[in-house]
Amino acid sequence: MTDIRPLAAGNWKMNGLRASLGELEAIASAVRAGETGRAEVLICPPATLIAAAAQAGGGMAIGGQDCHAAASGAHTGDISAQMLRDAGATYVIVGHSERRADHGESDQMVRDKAEAALRAGLTAIVCVGETRDQRESGQTLAVVGSQIAGSLPHDATAATLVVAYEPVWAIGTGLTPTAADVAEVHAFIRHELIDLMPGEGEKVRILYGGSVKPANAVELMGVENVNGALVGGASLTAKDFLGIAGVYK
Ligand code: PGA
């Protein structure tokens, strides 16, 4: 199996004022001190903090949480991938379930955003995952498969694409799938990636996200084909986030 460098990513969502940059600085200095080992560390703060975070976060990567599909234009309130890049981001999350649900983002819209990210020189983190109803009715793999088929950017490589499996029912709830369930979905995603991206699909990082905490990080990050975490709530404090990213030390 290819040796994949894991990615420990934090998604601050709509949290964080300038005062929160202290947490980010604490994470960055731990990264520089080697406390996160071989993992690549990424924080995606709100857009208002990206430029300052890129300055304060030496040693780690900074990303956006969404971008528009167009490079510029009459789209009041939106932010382009190029603008994120210009502010110092190197990653952007697209298709998070909160955007799919709250902003009606379809697979096609997510793909368009991911392709815009690649054009701007960003790495796209494309999120997929089933709802509770879909899991309970046995549709998990079908749902994830159709999100993969519909939302991944064309012409991506393992360097420009990350896939995050985030069961919607696990986000912010304290609930997580069993290690066996995570292994099943991640193996399925790996298989789909190899099919869609011959020569690259085996190297694309597949993150698990949804209630990752220091207490469950060793187990979840140890599952086969789990190449890192996408962390929401526990990424807001350096202590908790480092308790997760630190499993790679
Ligand atoms: P959570 O969020 O860690 O707070 O469950 C994960 C996410 O939405 O990326």
Contact 201, 164 (CB under 8 A): no
The pLDDT value given to residue 2 = 59
Separation of CA 81 and ligand 1 centre (Å): 22
> Which token pair is 120?
């701007």
In a shared domain, residues 44 and 99:
no
* pLDDT tens, position by position, 142-159: 999 999 999 999 999 999
Instruction: Print the SS3 string covering 200-235.
Output: CCCCCEEEEECCCCHHHHHHHHCCCCCCEEEECHHH
Confirm whether 186 is a catalytic residue.
Answer: no
Name residues whose C-beta falls within 8 Å of residue 16's C-beta, 6 or more positions apart in sequence: 45, 46, 49, 236
Mean pLDDT score, 202-230: 98
Ligand 1 and 233: CB distance under 6 A: yes
Which residues are 124's β-sheet partners? 92, 161
CB of 209 closer than 6 angstroms to any ligand 1 atom: yes
196: in domain: yes
Instruction: Quickly count: other Cβ atoms within 10 Å of residue 210's Cβ.
Output: 26
For residue 133, give Cα distances in angstroms to 43, 96, 174: 31, 18, 17
Phi, psi of 115 (to 5 degrees): -70, -35
Lowest mean pLDDT segment, chosen from 2-6, 16-20, 149-153: 2-6
131 plus 197 within the same structural domain: yes
Per-position b or e across 173-192, b if 16+ CB within 10 A of its CB? eeebbebeebebbbebbbeb
Cα–Cα dist 208/231, whole Å: 9
| Catalytic residue chosen out of the listed positions 23, 68, 96, 186 | 96
Amino acid 62: pLDDT: 98
Cα angle value 193/188/177 (rounded, 5°): 130
pLDDT at 89 over 70: yes
Rounded mean pLDDT, 100-114: 98
Sign of CA dihedral 23, 29, 32, 33: negative
**Same domain, residue pair 105 and 189:** yes
Spacing, Cα 153 to ligand 1 middle (Å): 23
Calculate mean pLDDT across residues 87-93: 98
Say yes or no: 45 and 94 in one domain. Answer: no
- Give the domain range for residue 109: 90-201
Task: Let me know if residue 219 belongs to a domain.
Answer: no
Position 195 in a domain = yes
What the block records as the tokens of 20 is 């929160």
Kindly state the percentage of the chain with pLDDT values over 70: 99
pLDDT at 218 over 70: yes
Fill in the amino acid letter for 49. Answer: L
Residue of 166, 207, 213, 216 best suited for mutating to test ligand 1, as the one with most atoms within 8 Å of CB: 166
- Residue 199 assigned as binding residue: no
**Is residue 215 in a domain?**
no
**Is residue 224 among the annotated active site residues?**
no
**pLDDT tens for residues 47-61?**
999 999 999 999 999
Please state the pTM of the whole predicted model.
0.98
| Number of domains, the chain | 2
Q: Quick check: 1 pLDDT over 80? A: no
28 alpha carbon – ligand 1 mean position (Å)? 20
Average pLDDT over the chain, rounded to an integer: 97
Residue 174: CB within 6 Å of ligand 1? no
Give the model confidence (pLDDT) of 70-82 as tens digits.
999 999 999 999 9
